[in-house]
């Protein structure tokens, strides 16, 4: 499992590609996490529910990193 808070933009783009996702997913996630201060995938409404469920299973946040 990968903590998204440990990844910079370039690494996040690469990580999204491992899911078969386009690079814009990294931009969406960076926006939610660092501009909106949202770390609850359910609140990331411009990301499909299917992909949010994948993220919930594979990318738990390590709150100590905050």
Q: What is the mean pLDDT of the chain?
A: 90
39-57 pLDDT tens trace = 999 999 999 999 999 999 9
H helix runs in the chain, sequence order: 9-18, 24-30, 49-58
Minimal CA–CA distance to 28: which of 9, 11, 14? 9
* Domains of the chain: total: 1
Q: The whole model's pTM is what?
A: 0.85
Mean pLDDT of 30-38: 95
Question: Do 13 and 26 form a contact (C-beta atoms < 8 A)?
Answer: yes
Question: Domain span at residue 36?
Answer: 4-65
pLDDT over 90 for what percent of the chain? 77
| pLDDT of amino acid 64 | 55
What's the CATH number where 9 sits? Answer: 1.10.150.530
């Amino acid at each position: 499992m990968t903590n998204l808070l440990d990844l910079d933009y370039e690494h996040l783009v690469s990580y999204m590609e491992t899911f078969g996702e386009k690079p814009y997913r990294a931009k969406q996630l960076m926006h939610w996490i660092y501009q909106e201060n949202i770390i609850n995938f359910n609140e990331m409404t411009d990301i499909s529910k299917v992909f949010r469920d994948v993220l919930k299973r594979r990318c738990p946040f390590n709150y100590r990193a905050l």
